[in-house]
């Protein structure tokens, strides 16, 4: 399931084909994705230029010359193919095809159809899921005090709190699990216990912020074919922390598997 690093890589993949180019043609082969594609989807995109393509949380966002925003989500199994020229053989799960003025063809493929696309203007975006997102974990502004404010008083386990897109944007099951191991914090610990009674951020919370950033930066740099994890999906293996000697354990939280080392994660 795509999280921030996978979405970031999708943005980097699409940028050369889409940024600065216009939508010359928009072919919707299937309207019913996770949501129904908006009415006039094709009309609002066709002819518009992409000023910038960026990521916000797990969303891809194209800022258009018309003032509209094209917002795209990969869901569980969505991905893009970019064809720089020539005709494109389409398959059953290719649902949306953008023909760009750059000559590139961008194809959205999604076998499970949990992904979707929306077009917003300045007014409607304020009521969208995008507007409710928490801070970007790779932004300079994401510091321990910002996270402290959002975790203060929360009784939810750390795993659940950090997976909440309103607390911090872009994290999911895999990278929360990995960051908590790096920060030596238990996924079961109540989130609010990381914040002092005064609201201040203790060293453990500063460590967590650094761990989230480092985990995401490493995953973006590593690339899609290398998924060596510290603890995720490594039940029964030796903890990778030098000198720990613990064993990675799997628990289920909110219906999702969590992996952690009970010896060094407190």
Is 2 catalytic? The answer is yes
When the beta carbons of 23 and 260 are compared against Zn ion, the nearer one is 260
When the beta carbons of 82 and 244 are compared against Zn ion, the nearer one is 244
When the beta carbons of 15 and 241 are compared against Zn ion, the nearer one is 241
Question: How far apart are CB 238 and Zn ion at their closest, in Å?
Answer: 9
When the beta carbons of 37 and 261 are compared against Zn ion, the nearer one is 261
Is 159 catalytic? The answer is no
Is 256 catalytic? The answer is yes
The catalytic residue among 44, 58, 159, 182 is 58
The catalytic residue among 188, 256, 262, 263 is 256
Those residues whose C-beta lies under 8 Å from the C-beta of residue 260, and which sit 6 or more positions away, are: 177, 180, 181, 186, 187, 231, 248, 249, 251
**E strand or H helix at 163:** helix 158-163
Question: How far apart are CB 254 and Zn ion at their closest, in Å?
Answer: 23
When the beta carbons of 120 and 260 are compared against Zn ion, the nearer one is 260
The catalytic residue among 2, 5, 137, 187 is 2
Give dist(CA 228, CA 189) in Å, integer: 25
**DSSP calls for 4-39:** HHHHHHHHHHHHHHHTT-BEEEEEES--BSSSBPPT
Is 136 catalytic? The answer is no
Give dist(CA 47, CA 3) in Å, integer: 31
Number of C-alpha atoms within 13 angstroms, CB side, residue 266?
Answer: 4
When the beta carbons of 88 and 244 are compared against Zn ion, the nearer one is 244
Question: How far apart are CB 182 and Zn ion at their closest, in Å?
Answer: 11
Question: How far apart are CB 184 and Zn ion at their closest, in Å?
Answer: 8
- Alpha-carbon radius of gyration of the chain: 20
Give dist(CA 83, CA 99) in Å, integer: 10
The catalytic residue among 3, 6, 19, 178 is 3
**DSSP calls for 179-244:** HHHHTT--TTSBGGGGS-TTS---HHHHHHHHHHHHHHHHHHHH-TT----SSTT-TTSBP-STTT
**In this structure, what DSSP letter does residue 129 have?**
G
Which residues of this protein are in contact with Zn ion, per CB under 5 A? 239, 241, 244, 246, 261, 263-264
Question: How far apart are CB 180 and Zn ion at their closest, in Å?
Answer: 11
Question: How far apart are CB 259 and Zn ion at their closest, in Å?
Answer: 11
Q: Please identify every residue annotated as catalytic.
A: 2-3, 58, 256
């Amino acid at each position: 399931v795509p999280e921030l690093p996978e979405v970031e890589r999708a943005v980097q993949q699409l940028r050369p084909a889409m940024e600065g180019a216009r939508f010359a043609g928009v072919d919707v082969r299937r309207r019913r994705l996770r949501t129904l594609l908006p009415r006039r989807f094709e009309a609002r995109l066709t002819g518009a230029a992409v000023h910038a393509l960026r990521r916000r949380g797990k969303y891809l966002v194209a800022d258009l010359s018309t003032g509209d925003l094209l917002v795209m989500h990969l869901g569980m199994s969505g991905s893009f193919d970019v064809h720089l020229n020539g005709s494109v053989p389409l398959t059953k799960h290719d649902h949306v095809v953008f023909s760009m003025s750059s000559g590139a063809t961008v194809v959205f493929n999604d076998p499970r159809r949990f992904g979707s696309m929306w077009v917003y203007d300045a007014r409607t975006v304020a009521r969208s899921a995008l507007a409710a997102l928490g801070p970007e974990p790779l932004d300079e502004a994401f510091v321990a005090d910002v996270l402290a404010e959002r975790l203060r008083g929360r009784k939810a386990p750390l795993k659940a709190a950090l997976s909440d897109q309103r607390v911090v944007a872009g994290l999911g099951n895999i990278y929360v699990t990995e960051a908590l191991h790096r920060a030596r914090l238990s996924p079961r610990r109540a989130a609010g216990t990381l914040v002092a009674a005064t609201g201040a951020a203790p060293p453990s919370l500063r460590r967590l912020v650094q761990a989230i950033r480092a985990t995401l930066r490493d995953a973006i740099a590593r690339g899609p074919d290398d998924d060596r994890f510290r603890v995720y999906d490594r039940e029964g293996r030796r903890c990778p922390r030098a000198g720990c000697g613990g064993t990675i354990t799997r628990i289920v939280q909110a219906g999702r598997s969590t992996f952690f080392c009970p010896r060094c994660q407190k």
